[in-house]
Amino acid sequence: MNNKVKISLALVFLLLVACAKNPFTGKKTMAFVPNSEIFPTAFQQYDQFLTENKVVKGTIDAKRIESIGMKIKTAAERYLVANGNAGYLKDYKWEYNLVDDASINAWCMPGGKIVFYTGILPVCKDDAGIAAVMGHEVAHALANHGQQRMSAGMFQQVGQVGLAVAVGNKDPQTQSLIMQAYGIGSQLGGMLPFSRSHESEADMIGIYLMAIAGYHPSNAVQVWERMSQNSNGNEPSEILSTHPSNASRIQNLSALVPQAILEAAKFGVTFK
């Protein structure tokens, strides 16, 4: 068996055995690295981040971040239990912190470690806006997007090795051109669309969670309208970005609002 066949079989084997199921979408996802390895590292990195940045404690805003975060977590638990995934969050260690930083950003590490920057609060505007952003960030952790990105990166590297073996008998200049083309093509045609799909998936899961938590899902649309106004049109081309454009997100979230209201109604949550 030659090297090309071995590498092809290895790729197929990885895809067959290293998969997990997203409990929110039902999709099979790549999981080459288990959460049992990812979570401890993420928790250490989170703790290190907190020691190196100015964490805001005891203020009204800091308490809002924690309170709303707990409501989103509870919404996730209710959803998962109702859909037969009661033990899904057993290894998550939720923590919510507000950090004094002008960046318009928030993030959630694998395993439920969340940071909001003070700079994003004016864009959030109110509790419902915070819930929209919180739902989106929590959704990344719930859907194991960090694990999937790591797995996709590994898959990309294996493909690169396989291609290097396949073109090993060509002249160096041709090899270089082929490898460069693979790098650009796998990024534009693979990794970036993969990342954008994660953002859209987190928008969908997040808007459901905020609705189940009692916040009207239309507020998610309003957050991204304010985000768009704040950017003043200075966005990278969507095809070259890890995120969908603001316009795409506004359109997609607007279409999801009625579905999120119906989802919340299953849990006894209604809106006027």
The contacts of residue 70 (CB under 8 Å, 6+ apart) are: 94, 96
137 noted as active-site residue: yes
Q: Given 37, 52, 66, 137, which residue is catalytic? A: 137
Considering Cα of 32, then 33, then 34, then 38, what sign does the dihedral take?
A: negative
- The 10 Å CB-count burial string (b at 16+, else e) for 26-42 is eeebbbbbebeebbeeb
Considering Cα of 57, then 58, then 60, then 64, what sign does the dihedral take?
A: positive
For 116, the token pair is: 């909001």
Q: Which residues share a beta bridge with 114?
A: 96, 108
**Number of other CB atoms surrounding residue 129 within 10 Å:** 22
Please give the sequence-ordered ranges of beta strands (E in DSSP) within the chain, or none if there are none.
19-21, 28-30, 55-56, 95-99, 106-109, 113-117
* Residue of 115, 123, 85, 117 lying closest to 102 (CA atoms): 117
Amino acid, single-letter form, for residue 76:
A
Residues annotated catalytic, as ranges: 137
